[in-house]
Amino acid sequence: MAGIYIHIPFCKSKCAYCNFFSVVSEKRRDDFLDALKREAEARKDYLGEEEVKTVYFGGGTPSIMRASEISEILDCLKKNYKIAAASEITLEANPDTVSKESLFAYKSLGINRLSIGIQSFFDDDLQYLSRKHDSKHARQVLEWAQEVGFQEITLDLIYGIPTLTDEKWRKNLEIFFSTGFNHLSAYALTVEEKTALGQRINKGVAAPVCEDATIRQYEILCEATENHGFEHYEISNFARPGHYSKHNTIYWKGEKYLGLGPSAHSFDGVSRQWNVAGVKDYCESYSFEREQLTPDDRYNEYIMTSLRTMWGVDLEYLRLNFGEKYAEKFEKGVENHISSGKMFRKDQNFILNDNGMLFADGIAAELFF
Ligand code: SF4
């Protein structure tokens, strides 16, 4: 089983904190659509005979695309890949680009999971992030998504925004729980220096992120989601049992996926490749760079991604796939994290608890080969 990721590179405007590849100009929209279909056809052997169980439209802003355009892409995928009958097909939607009609049209095409970029239900937080929607419209979009009948809806929320008090964060979570949705992605605001927000903070015209507030809000998040029966199944992802993102789980479990579109990444178990990022360059030739992974690279990636999930690192998997020397290094390396209370062992699996997940990247780096 494998997944396909489609990168839609267009956005209505650039959010101040955004570090993803996207452009505001849509002048190459038709060329992009043609190039994407050509790439899908040219790469049809990448996944071999694997059945595709997930398709994910990410970006950028996939909901900027008309339903007729998404339909063309899906038709092209169906022609060239073995898409499973019960596949999960997710589309990321930003409130500023959807209407009830467009949501209905996406659903009619077979999109069965909607990921809505809400970020906050408070206008001052949205303004800090320079998001283009407001809270009132965000709530309207949630109603529409339910009215048109999406069964699987996930929201993105951001905590650690300097304008977001603990009280407002609790309120954001309360609004999320009141929707009855089964999945939440909640991210700590991280500020990259080269983004507009990074520069504003450096110049002193925007408030900086407070690490203590971020940690407090992470703790509020872990407690509230647990109280509502959600599993903290990945560092930034929470779901009611069985409602995990199947597509993202492919990344976290090291399964194969093909990425189509500018800047999209692909992984086939032994190598990674990443497409050229510029829309013009992509439209002219969807070229990519490729890196063959060494056993050390693959071990390090497995440690990095597994430690971020509630399934943790499987010692038996390490032995079988990498050998005794890697398993021994890992077992020795985790001793102090178990004794310091950040990690626990469940049968053959070594798992970070909520507190340990705060240090997941540092712990993983210590365990690298
Ligand atoms: S909508 Fe998403 S991808 Fe587009 S600029 Fe904002 S954060 Fe970046």
pLDDT, tens only, 248-273: 999 999 999 999 999 999 999 899 99
Q: Which of 112, 244, 119 is nearest to 182 (CA)?
A: 244
The structural domains of the chain, with segments of one domain joined by +, span 2-251, 294-369
The Å distance, Cα 245 to ligand 1 centre, comes to: 20
Domain topology for 294-369: Arc Repressor Mutant, subunit A (1.10.10)
Q: Which of 94, 130, 187 to mutate to test the pocket of ligand 1 (most atoms within 8 A of CB)?
A: 94
The Å distance, Cα 61 to ligand 1 centre, comes to: 7
Residue 286: pLDDT over 90: no
H or E stretch at 184: strand 183-188
Distances, alpha carbon 149 to alpha carbons 142, 152, 195, 280, in Å: 11, 9, 37, 37
The CA distance from 218 to 78, in Å, is: 40
The CA-based diameter of the chain, rounded to the nearest angstrom, is 57
pLDDT, tens only, 334-368: 999 999 999 999 999 999 999 999 999 999 999 99
Question: Closest ligand 1 atom, CA of 14?
Answer: 5
Strands 183-188 and 237-239: antiparallel
Q: Which of 38, 112, 39 is nearest to 259 (CA)?
A: 39
The one-letter amino acid code at 264 reads: A
pLDDT > 70 in the chain, percent: 100
Residue 172: pLDDT over 90: yes
The predicted structure's pLDDT at residue 49: 87
- 249 CB contacts (<8 Å, ≥6 apart)? none
Question: Closest ligand 1 atom, CA of 19?
Answer: 8
Mean pLDDT of 118-142: 97
- Ligand 1 pocket, Cβ-based, cut-off 6 angstroms: 11, 14-15, 18, 20, 22, 59-61, 94
- 237 CB contacts (<8 Å, ≥6 apart)? 183, 184, 185, 186, 244, 245, 248
Q: Which of 8, 17, 18 to mutate to test the pocket of ligand 1 (most atoms within 8 A of CB)?
A: 18
Residue 369: pLDDT over 90: no
Domain 2-251 has CATH 3.10.105.10: no
Mean pLDDT of 178-186: 98
pLDDT, tens only, 38-91: 999 999 999 988 999 999 999 999 999 999 999 999 999 999 999 999 999 999
